[in-house]
Amino acid sequence: MKVFDTLTGEKQEFKPLEENTVKMYVCGPTVYDHAHIGHARSAVVFDVIRRWFEYKGYKVIYVRNYTDVDDKIIKRSKEEGIPWNEVAAKYITSYEEDMKALNVKEPTFKPKVTEHIREIIELIQGLIEKGYAYESGGDVYFRVKKFPEYGKLSKRKIEELLAGARIEPGENKEDPLDFALWKRSKEGEPGWESPWGIGRPGWHIECSAMAMKYLGETMDIHGGGLDLIFPHHENEIAQSESYTGKPFARFWIHNGFVMVNKEKMSKSLGNFFTIKEILEKFNPDVLRFFLLSTHYRSPIDFSFERLEDASRSLKRIQNFLESKNIVESLPESEETTSTPQVSKYRKAFEEAMDDDFNTAKALGILFELVKEANTLKDKAVKNRKISKAGKSFILDSLSLVKEALKTLGFKLEKEKSNQIEDELIKLLIEVRSEMRKRKLFDVADRIRDRLKELEITLEDLPTGTIYKRD
């Protein structure tokens, strides 16, 4: 397996620290609003990465946190007139509803900041003792210049950062580049007892403390969106490696932005669509398909037209998966035909996924297989017979496509309306068969013709009647 590492800027062979175990930490949401499609992309991307490791036989310890105390949460609490912790609980519930709808697997651990204050304080104390942090007026700051490798993830130089840095009013920093590890609580804000007075953690230290608690001082993968590279992940590296003297993560993986009219989708720009809004109009599998149809590191342009395209593409695959009964009903002929090997497509699919989780290429390979199998199937239906090799190829293709899509996290569930429709068609076929037995051919023909008008074609075979959607 080759995985692109943001730190080195190149693909590297993936080998975990511990044999057969992958330790992953992915930055979760700050819970002050409903999640949007940008959050969905990160969640789905890392869900697929986790699923692929599991497909390869690894045990995955997957940690995704909740930032449940933050300036934005406090601000939303004032706007909604409810306590800050109720705001956090409300939007955690909302996020988990979205994740369930998108078939994102439950993390092994999903820690909340407010449940790990002790670990955060211990980490900050350790940094102070080592001289990497200092207390000032109830706040605690990290000394950026004391960590010589600062900027190695984002490829930024200290001199460039200093050019735009300044100390804001009320900050008691030694240096404009220093960042907060602990913030003194203002009146009316949430706070916890600490050696430096009542306060709460800074954003960056939270993730370091929680990641180290569940995954140890060095993990295999740390992930998140591109926007987290600086300052969040850069600061995590500085404080964590200063504390332990060890590499914090062996691979840094970042997913690209969701774009709207060439701008990043974000709450600050107001150009976002919530997951809930999209799922009111589209099946969750459609949104997952859209998000995986572009390589995870590339930006993806969002539009409702592209969701419609994704819906049509997914429908082609679903129609193929629903053709199993047609293929099994076809009589086998004596002819011997040469058919491609399904194993060739499995190998190509696995190679695409092993090459930095290239879901776009992997889906393309599945479409090639579906196209080839459909061509053979349609020819067989027209001739009302199929070779043994041809039937085997199509049934094996059906099995591989279904397995591959399940591995990528697709539910492949029919909507209830489609399930009812299938049962009604089967009932009409039974009624038509009974009419033919009674020689009521005009009634039987009316059923066939009306279904044809609805783009459902019936085929009478020696083994029985089958149907397909045109």
- The pLDDT tens digits for 340-388 are 799 999 999 999 999 999 999 999 999 999 999 999 999 988 888 899 9
pLDDT of residue 426: 84
- The pLDDT tens digits for 402-417 are 999 999 999 997 655 5
Supply the mean pLDDT for the chain. Answer: 93
What number is the average pLDDT over the span 119-138?
97
* Separation in Å, CA 376 to CA 313, 431, 436: 19, 30, 30
Predicted confidence (pLDDT) at residue 337 exceeds the cutoff of 80: no
- The pLDDT tens digits for 189-202 are 999 999 999 999 99
Quickly count: other Cβ atoms within 10 Å of residue 86's Cβ.
Answer: 11
- Is residue 2 part of an annotated ligand binding site? no
pLDDT bucket at 161, cuts 50 / 70 / 90: confident
Higher pLDDT, 171 or 7: 7
Q: Cis link prior to 231 (omega < 30° from 0)?
A: yes
- Is residue 207 part of an annotated ligand binding site? yes
- Is residue 27 part of an annotated ligand binding site? yes
pLDDT of residue 419: 64
Structural domains of the chain, with CATH:
2-255 (3.40.50.620), 306-407 (1.20.120.640), 416-469 (no CATH)
* Paired tokens of 364: 């393309």
Lowest-confidence range among 41-45, 124-128, 249-253, 415-419? 415-419
Predicted confidence (pLDDT) at residue 231 exceeds the cutoff of 60: yes
For the entire predicted model, the pTM comes to 0.89
Tokens 């840094």 belong to which residue? 252
- The pLDDT tens digits for 284-331 are 999 999 999 999 999 999 999 999 999 999 999 998 998 888 898 888
- The pLDDT tens digits for 21-54 are 999 999 999 999 999 999 999 999 999 999 999 9
Higher pLDDT, 78 or 414: 78
Predicted confidence (pLDDT) at residue 10 exceeds the cutoff of 70: yes
All residues at 6 or more sequence positions from 178 whose CB lies less than 8 Å from its CB, including other chains: 141, 142, 143, 144
* Paired tokens of 52: 């692929």
All residues at 6 or more sequence positions from 18 whose CB lies less than 8 Å from its CB, including other chains: none
* Paired tokens of 210: 């929680």
pLDDT of residue 414: 67
Lowest-confidence range among 102-116, 161-175, 242-256, 367-381? 161-175
What number is the average pLDDT over the span 418-447?
86
- Is residue 232 part of an annotated ligand binding site? yes
Report the percent of the chain where pLDDT is more than 90. 76
pLDDT bucket at 160, cuts 50 / 70 / 90: confident
Alpha helices in 63-157 (DSSP H): 71-80, 84-101, 117-129
Report the alpha-carbon angle 17-18-24, nearest 5.
Answer: 70
